Amino acid sequence: MSSLVLSPLIVLAAVVFVIGAVGTVWRRSLLVVLISLQLMLMAGELAFISFSVDRSADPDSAGVIAAAQGVVLTAIFVGLVQFSVGFIIVRRLADYRKSIDLEQSSALQG
Question: Per residue in 20-61, pLDDT tens?
Answer: 999 988 877 777 888 888 888 888 888 877 776 666 666 566
Question: Domain total for the chain?
Answer: 1
User: How far is C-alpha 55 from the geometric centre of its chain's CA atoms?
Assistant: 22
Query: What pLDDT shows up at residue 6?
Result: 67
Beta carbons of 41 and 75 less than 8 angstroms apart? yes
Query: What pLDDT shows up at residue 92?
Result: 79
Residue 29: φ, ψ to 5° = -75, 130
Residue 109 lies in a domain: no
Query: What pLDDT shows up at residue 18?
Result: 96
CB neighbourhood size of 4 (10 A):
4
Which of 23, 77, 19, 84 has the alpha carbon at shortest distance from 45? 77
Domain that residue 12 falls in = 8-97
Query: What pLDDT shows up at residue 103?
Result: 62
Residue 1 lies in a domain: no
Query: What pLDDT shows up at residue 1?
Result: 41
User: Given a cut of 90, is residue 4 above it in pLDDT?
Assistant: no
**Residue 71, domain CATH:** 1.10.287.3510
Residue 104 lies in a domain: no
Residue 108 lies in a domain: no
Residue 50 lies in a domain: yes
CA-to-CA distance for 49 and 102, rounded, in angstroms?
A: 34
Residue 35 lies in a domain: yes
Reduce the DSSP state of residue 29 to 3 states and report it: strand
What integer is the mean pLDDT of 94-105?
Answer: 66
User: Given a cut of 80, is residue 102 above it in pLDDT?
Assistant: no
